[in-house]
Structure 1
Amino acid sequence: MAQKPSIPKGTRDFGPLEMNRRNYIFTTIRKVFEKYGYQPIETPAMENLSTLLGKYGEEGDKLLFKILNSGDYLAKADPALLERKDSLRLSTQISEKGLRYDLTVPFARFVVQHRNEISFPFKRYQMQPVWRADRPQKGRYREFYQCDVDVVGSDSLLNEVDLVRMIDEVFRKLQINVVIKLNNRKILSGIAQTIDAPELLTDITVAMDKLDKIGVEKVYEELRAKGLSQEAIDQLEPILNLSGSNTSKLICLKELIGHTTDGSKGIQELTTLFDYLEDVDLKAEVELDQSLARGLNYYTGAIIEVKAADVQMGSICGGGRYDNLTGIFGMPGVSGVGVSFGADRIYDVLTELQLFPQEAAALTQVLLVNFGEKESRYALKVLQKLHQENIAAELYPEPAKMKKQMKYADQKQIPYVLLIGEEEMNSGKLTLKNMQTGEQQKVDADALSEILKE
């Protein structure tokens, strides 16, 4: 007996229903990106490992999918490494390429490589799959899509304002209630300087980033294990426990860390950003979260994270400002800021909250029933007219039993069925059935198009 085929863990097949719904998400996001002046690019699924390694930290490097060199990939491998089974060092000899981990690092490579072909500030969006050798679990996959939007070549905080507005508009159109959390890398640096532990900045912020997941006491335990003194933790406590409005948090932060150079600059940038946001109409709640870090390997300014308000799910969008990313590819001094929408998590949220609209379930708007050869010839003319009017329609290919044709329309969630029999051909009045209500009405060909367009 043949073994049943399967796919790798952490990957998924998508049938017509899922693809229609995913395309609804992509189309919604794409239209907002383009409205704000962002242009599309694409980069290869695989990049040179020299492009990817060292950009995501030690943990990120471990999650890179590496691609074996073509041909006899062991020919140039060090026999001593093979003998010792030193897989870490061996991998760099037998693998020169890897699947992209995100879209930001490939984008930075693209900007540097094509610097003479693009105009700055360069506003781009990119919607492609990425791969991570992670442990699959709810909301976390090994292959998933990211929808990134970035602008490079501008330091202006108006870019952050645009990103917040785009986030708000995307989720408003998708009808997902979200909380947009903001922080600034310089505030995190100011916190580490205030508690006299700047060398532990990464350890402190990684622990703080887990506050919602493990609670404050576990965060303190983790920090003690990293070598932070009890005196430093006592200084950190009032910072972590800040509450109240964004304005009151900024005032408290100024008192607590405003004496540091980085802290003062970060507070100033966040204050300016919140002042700008006061002048725009946002549906989403915008919250200052002083513990928000989102990984620190390339963020240098604003940090942004978005969570669904009505579903227990990780972040569904996030990003921030990075001043030095292109510098690692030989083009220093180019600041950038961007966010990434997690299409797969957004899909899961829409599914759980049953927010997908009916039109996202099916592409075909009307099915023309096939009653036989003579009727189908007449129906073909109607079908052609519908297609000329850009209405998605199809004619059932065989004169099967009515029950079978109706079942087909039900399974594809086609909202309308058009019946064209002897009576309809003689009168010119076609019978249109609403599959949701069961209501039937007589319409002529011209009125049919108008009804379906509505």
Structure 2
Amino acid sequence: MAQKPSTPKGTRDFNPEAVAKRNYIFNTIRNAFDTFGFQPIETPSFENSETLMGKYGDEGDRLIFKILNSGDYFYKTKNGILSAIRVGEMFYLKLTKEELDNIDWLYRESRNQVVQKFLKVTLNGGKNSVKNLPPEDVLDYIFLMIHNAYKNLLSSPDENTKHKVFTEIYANVFLNIKSNSITPLISEKALRYDLTVPFARYVVQHQNDIEFPFKRYQIQPVWRADRPQKGRFREFYQCDADVVGSDSLWQEVEFIQLYDTVFSALKLDGVTIKINNRKILSGIAEVIGASDKLIDFTVALDKLDKIGEEKVKQEMLNKGIPESGIEKLQPLFSLSGNFESQIESLKAILSTSEEGKKGIDELAFIDTAISELGLKTAKLQLDVTLARGLNYYTGAIFEVSAPETVKLGSIGGGGRYDDLTGIFGMKNMSGVGISFGLDRIYLVLEALGLFPETISKHIEVLFINFGKKEALFSLKAIKQLREQGVNAELYPDAAKMKKQMTHANRRNIPFVVLVGEEEINSDSYTLKNMKSGTQEKMALEALISIVKKKS
């Protein structure tokens, strides 16, 4: 039976039209990046596992695609572990019941501890799941499986049954044990999860060759082992721009202008660039006496427009934020008005917080600059509930929302970070960056009908194939057409005329050229307009002129 073709879950094929539309977005973003002085770099699709692991938190680590070591490395490693288990099997099969009882005390205490951990993760991860066991317990667990399995079957005289138990142990080890203890033995590389950590690695590795401040952009795919759903894929592109080596707030101002430039070029009017500052959030938490609960506080505050004021207050209470502190937040719940009026309200709320005052000053600087410079089609909005990437960002936080007519969440975001490269040992390298959400931008442009009709560069002229002599004559003309920037091609087979014309119609090719014996003898071409149905014999120069004018 033939295999049914399919793509891996969470990935997609793109037809020529979709690729043309995606390239339209890519090219628009790339042109803006170039105009603003950003330089392109590319990093490998996979990194050393140690480069990525531990940089995104526990949830992020679980979503990283790991790559099995190449060649027969995996099988050598697997066979090495299997050999160790076989040694254990040979040892146990020779033990009498008395000998087993004599060594059982060695396992009793550690077995109880590991089994309890195993039972706990089994409830969360399914049958025989030990993927969440601490690394130091995994190898102990393997040998405990051997020990307990043999002990339970010791009374059985059937040697085949005993060997079968060990066969099941082998399968259990390699099908169900997925911890950090074993993973490095079979996987040393992983597909990149985002473009930011590889960029940090790039900066540190090439620091002697980089001129700082360094303005870089990167447009490449990333991979995440996420649960696929609408608008969320396992393979997707990111379009990032960053500046490292400068703590100047003019960079934030330029990124706001960059967003405005791109979305204006895409004719996507009415996007909202929301901005907040990590120092503002830290200052608010300080004022209400919840500095140690900054994450809990901001997670609850972020839900204000979704669940309302009372439920937000209740969630804060449940998280241990004192009621007296929540009362101080009352002006925040009713914060409204334009950027300037919100800044004034924040000054009153954060009058006792030095950190908060710094955040206010930074936001006021950015707002003043943008007010002077102006934006084409986007609008800048202060949103004190915005807490995007709170563990990561240290200053400005950006999030871009699509026009209100399209309910699709954010289509871009970013912010200021003070120590991007610190994870690789290069301290105090401040930076700021933003990202464009390609797939969501695509959906917004599609929903609003904003893709240009001429976005897909179709073939403009198809030469009908009447045979070898006619085809060669046609190809000489096609060569000249292509040199003049006209997309032209020859139908490859001397098929029936109706089939070739149908092909042209289905591909929406506006012109076809007919070349027969008569055209060859007179060094001319018959040009047919597929829309009007009219046709006319003419010289090649005239044909080129007409097609270029209509294309």
Query: 1:141 Cα shift?
Result: 1.1
Query: 1:164 Cα shift?
Result: 1.4
**In the TM superposition, what are the counterparts of 1:296-311 in structure 2 within 5 Å?**
296-309=390-403, 310-311=405-406
The superposition leaves residues 200-221 of structure 1 with CA deviations (integer Å, 9 ceiling, x where unpaired) of 1122223333444544444444
1:104 corresponds, among 193, 196, 202, to: 196
Provide the C-alpha distance between the structure 1 equivalents of 2:209 and 2:178, rounded to a whole number of angstroms.
40
The answer on whether the counterparts of 2:216 and 2:243 sit within 8 Å (CA) in structure 1 is yes
* 2:391 partner letter: N
The answer on whether the counterparts of 1:207 and 1:223 sit within 8 Å (CA) in structure 2 is yes
Normalised by the length of structure 1, the TM-score is 0.90
* 2:231 partner letter: G
Aligned to 2:74: 71
Query: 1:109 Cα shift?
Result: 0.8
Aligned to 1:351: 446
**Per the alignment, do residues 410 and 275 of structure 1 end up closer, same or farther by CA in structure 2, a change over 3 Å counting?**
farther
Provide the C-alpha distance between the structure 2 equivalents of 1:230 and 1:449, rounded to a whole number of angstroms.
79
1:232 corresponds, among 325, 329, 347, to: 325
Aligned to 1:259: 352
**Per the alignment, do residues 97 and 223 of structure 1 end up closer, same or farther by CA in structure 2, a change over 3 Å counting?**
farther
User: Matched residue of 2:377: which SS?
Assistant: coil
The superposition leaves residues 394-452 of structure 1 with CA deviations (integer Å, 9 ceiling, x where unpaired) of 121123344433433344344x22323457664846425264x7676776533544542
**Per the alignment, do residues 38 and 86 of structure 1 end up closer, same or farther by CA in structure 2, a change over 3 Å counting?**
same
**In the TM superposition, what are the counterparts of 1:176-187 in structure 2 within 5 Å?**
176-177=268-269, 178-187=271-280
Superposed CA RMSD in Å reads 2.6
Provide the C-alpha distance between the structure 2 equivalents of 1:141 and 1:116, rounded to a whole number of angstroms.
37
Provide the C-alpha distance between the structure 1 equivalents of 2:141 and 2:507, rounded to a whole number of angstroms.
56
Aligned to 1:29: 29
More moved, 79-88 vs 405-414: 79-88
Which runs of 5 or more structure 1 residues have no equivalent in the other structure? none
Provide the C-alpha distance between the structure 2 equivalents of 1:446 and 1:154, rounded to a whole number of angstroms.
57
The answer on whether the counterparts of 1:424 and 1:431 sit within 8 Å (CA) in structure 2 is no
Q: Is 1:339 aligned to residue 434 of structure 2?
A: yes
Q: Is 1:318 aligned to residue 410 of structure 2?
A: no
* 1:292 partner letter: L
**Per the alignment, do residues 421 and 48 of structure 1 end up closer, same or farther by CA in structure 2, a change over 3 Å counting?**
closer
User: Matched residue of 1:202: which SS?
Assistant: helix
Q: Is 1:80 aligned to residue 140 of structure 2?
A: yes
More moved, 442-451 vs 370-379: 442-451
The answer on whether the counterparts of 2:277 and 2:397 sit within 8 Å (CA) in structure 1 is yes
User: Matched residue of 2:329: which SS?
Assistant: helix
More moved, 425-434 vs 377-386: 425-434
The answer on whether the counterparts of 1:20 and 1:363 sit within 8 Å (CA) in structure 2 is no
Which runs of 5 or more structure 2 residues have no equivalent in the other structure? 82-134, 146-175
1:190 corresponds, among 269, 279, 283, to: 283
More moved, 216-225 vs 388-397: 216-225
The answer on whether the counterparts of 1:324 and 1:333 sit within 8 Å (CA) in structure 2 is yes
- Alignment length (residue pairs): 452
Which has more helix, going by share of residues?
Answer: 2
Provide the C-alpha distance between the structure 1 equivalents of 2:262 and 2:537, rounded to a whole number of angstroms.
39
The answer on whether the counterparts of 1:365 and 1:452 sit within 8 Å (CA) in structure 2 is no
Provide the C-alpha distance between the structure 2 equivalents of 1:328 and 1:226, rounded to a whole number of angstroms.
31
Aligned to 1:159: 251
Q: Is 1:418 aligned to residue 421 of structure 2?
A: no
* 2:61 partner letter: D
Query: 1:3 Cα shift?
Result: 3.8
Q: Which has the larger radius of gyration?
A: 2
The answer on whether the counterparts of 2:245 and 2:429 sit within 8 Å (CA) in structure 1 is yes
Provide the C-alpha distance between the structure 2 equivalents of 1:401 and 1:268, rounded to a whole number of angstroms.
75
**Per the alignment, do residues 296 and 418 of structure 1 end up closer, same or farther by CA in structure 2, a change over 3 Å counting?**
same
Aligned to 1:368: 463
